[in-house]
Structure 1
Amino acid sequence: MTALTLTDVNKSFGKVHVLKDINIEIEEGEFVVFVGPSGCGKSTLLRVIAGLEDASSGEIRIGEDVVNLTPPSKRGIAMVFQSYALYPHLNVRKNMSLALKQEKQPKEVIEQRVAEASRMLSLEDYLDRFPSELSGGQRQRVAIGRAIVRHPKIFLFDEPLSNLDAALRMSTRIEIASLHAQLGTSMIYVTHDQTEAMTLADKIVVLRDGIVEQVGSPMELYNNPANKFVAGFLGSPAMNFFPASLVRDGDTRTMGIRPEDLFQSDQGAFAASVTHVEKLGGDTNVIATIGDHNITARLFGQHDVAEGQILQLGFDPAKAFYFTEDGARDR
């Protein structure tokens, strides 16, 4: 069953056209990530789905219902923001239960749902604490719990991990993935972090300048990007781009090779001058130049490479990508 359908959705703020003919289908139980650079429209799209912004045109359908004119509280969605937006004068239990009380849910239902969400998020020992007594990760879990208790049709996450440090981002990301597996509810997650997109999503929607560039599973987009933008956006370190004429005389296209697909070889196609080395333990990232072009090679394991060294780098031609002048994929 389809949980959400967007058909020709547009959004303008005055003369600024922010979302342009958005067409997306999200199935029941899917975890979908909207990803793209800052200003691409992903948070605006989430707010249009939530009803916090009105679509300028197009149709928004949740399940079988067109909800363009339905207020946010009646759409059956729950939203988790980048800021925790907790009430400082209410303890965890009351923050989580407030929306249910406003809906006039029976006391026993409220208690059951708060207990259920607290168990899922390991918050049982914090129910009587106030937000000021919690860590950033705990506050974010409370915000997620406040959404869970509403039993929504769709969860919306707007960059929920942005305020957490690196270690907490990873652990909370795992918690969200586990939560999705337990609940089986459709989730839409907005981020500019392609690592979050790749690790969480069943389906990724890549946006640029208010346009959907490509939709697909993480590996579909990684292995078969529709254009140069998608190819360069997904992957860390990012894909290398340089003129195909460096390896094919007269070829006017741009060539793309992922860093992990470059390797040291005495018969390598490139003589690369090393400018910086990142020794990460399991991997070694070598930043180098080929003529006037910067490239990154991800060498697996530990390598004794130094700045100023000349490396011969080879690649598997079958793993190369080619793009036309306007960025379209050309094999």
Structure 2
Amino acid sequence: MGSLQLKSIRKAYGTHDVLKGIDLEVKDGEFVIFVGPSGCGKSTLLRSIAGLEDVTSGAVLINGTDVTVTPPAKRGISMVFQSYALYPHLTVKDNMGLGLKQAGTAKDEIDNRVEKASSMLSLAPYLARRPAELSGGQRQRVAIGRAIVREPELFLFDEPLSNLDAALRVQTRLEIARLHRSLKATMIYVTHDQVEAMTLADKIVVMNAGAIEQIGSPMELYNRPANVFVAGFIGSPQMNFIPAEKLEQSGAKTVGIRPEHITLSREQGTWAAKVIHVEHLGADTIIYLESDQTGLLTARLFGEHKYEPDETVYATPDTGHMHRFDENDQAIRA
């Protein structure tokens, strides 16, 4: 399909830099996700790849060809947006095939591609329907199908699941993952949801304030975050951060421990703490604690556990899973 190279991509509006010199390489067939908080520049970066935003400086290369000033329609990309952007008066079949029709593709070829894409996305029974007759999830699948039939070099997704409810997000996420395996296509996907990023990506690009904080596989970012920002952004509930001086940890400013790496006991343990709040989730129990030694702590226990607010407990961290960060919030590697 397609490879992508970004070389020192900078995007500025006046004196405000939205993208601050982005360098990135995406290999043929990879599923890469840009993730980060609102305003970090991830959608601007995606739109710069698509050609919907002109870059201030730097170069965009697709399959080794410089497309920095190439119009979007000639970059060999297909984009799926947060909004479905379907024509209400056209059927599913016509919506999916419209771009090919406008490009002058033969009718038989359009029919073949639409049939293939609709089969992949379980849309075959709905080809004669119009968007108003479809659910939100079905409409998003039509938008994805419209991208598939163009057989692009790159698929670009801009927060495609944001308008769906929780159950449909999970279902559509699974369909996108299956689609990637089936097409072996290069996909670049933007989301603010780190769960989406962790479950879909081959490689995650964590962005903050227009710059890349870390690039790696989901578990690389989870197990070896480069800094406090990545450690706090990846993982739910968020990693606990404790001033190192409170734990008498020399050579570090901050110590991090994930909620699932803390055990609780009513008898004894490392830190005495008071239960503030308990969330019973069935498969997990999330317990919020206050300790004089550490401040606010979150513990995640597997299964159902009976703890009550104001109860005194003892929290013990798994020291083998502690993360240490220096005065610049960078990870200290052992």
TM-score (norm 1): 0.97
Partner in structure 2 of residue 104 of structure 1: 104
- Structure 1 residue 249: deviation in Å? 6.3
Partner Cα separation in structure 2 for residue 286 and residue 251 of structure 1: 30
Partner Cα separation in structure 2 for residue 159 and residue 329 of structure 1: 30
- Structure 1 residue 245: deviation in Å? 2.4
Distance 1:2 1:136, change over 3 A: closer
Q: What whole-Å deviation, never above 9, does each CA across 1:295-315 have from its counterpart, x for those lacking one?
A: 110011111100001110111
Contact 1:4 1:61 in 2 (8 A): yes
Secondary structure of 2:304's counterpart equals: coil
- Structure 1 residue 2: deviation in Å? 6.8
Contact 2:2 2:186 in 1 (8 A): no
2:234 equivalent to 1:234? yes
Alignment RMSD = 1.3
Partner Cα separation in structure 1 for residue 252 and residue 118 of structure 2: 59
Question: Where does structure 1 lack aligned partners over 5 or more consecutive residues?
Answer: none
1:171-186 map, 5 Å: 171-186=171-186
Secondary structure of 2:3's counterpart equals: strand
1:257-296 map, 5 Å: 257-265=257-265, 266-291=267-292, 293-296=295-298
Contact 1:2 1:25 in 2 (8 A): no
TM-score (norm 2): 0.97
Q: Give the letter aligned to residue 288 of structure 2.
A: I
Contact 2:2 2:153 in 1 (8 A): no
Task: Report runs of 4+ in structure 1 exceeding 3 Å deviation.
Answer: 249-252
Question: Where does structure 2 lack aligned partners over 5 or more consecutive residues?
Answer: none
- Structure 1 residue 326: deviation in Å? 2.5
Contact 1:245 1:251 in 2 (8 A): no
- Structure 1 residue 316: deviation in Å? 1.7
Pick one of 315, 318, 323 that aligns with 2:317. 315
Q: Give the letter aligned to residue 194 of structure 2.
A: Q
> Could you tell which deviates more after superposition, 65-74 or 2-11?
2-11
Partner in structure 2 of residue 220 of structure 1: 220
Partner Cα separation in structure 2 for residue 2 and residue 101 of structure 1: 24
Partner in structure 1 of residue 50 of structure 2: 50
Partner Cα separation in structure 2 for residue 14 and residue 30 of structure 1: 34
Partner Cα separation in structure 1 for residue 254 and residue 222 of structure 2: 18
- Structure 1 residue 250: deviation in Å? 6.2
Contact 2:214 2:230 in 1 (8 A): yes
Contact 2:2 2:154 in 1 (8 A): no
- Structure 1 residue 89: deviation in Å? 1.3
Secondary structure of 1:157's counterpart equals: strand
Partner Cα separation in structure 2 for residue 36 and residue 106 of structure 1: 42
Partner Cα separation in structure 2 for residue 103 and residue 289 of structure 1: 63
Partner in structure 1 of residue 84 of structure 2: 84
Secondary structure of 1:307's counterpart equals: coil
2:34 equivalent to 1:31? no
Distance 1:24 1:252, change over 3 A: closer
Pick one of 304, 308, 317 that aligns with 1:302. 304
- Structure 1 residue 252: deviation in Å? 5.6
Partner Cα separation in structure 2 for residue 141 and residue 118 of structure 1: 9
Instruction: Give me the identity figure in percent.
Output: 59
> Could you tell which deviates more after superposition, 238-247 or 253-262?
238-247
Partner in structure 1 of residue 197 of structure 2: 197
Report how many aligned residue pairs link the two structures.
331
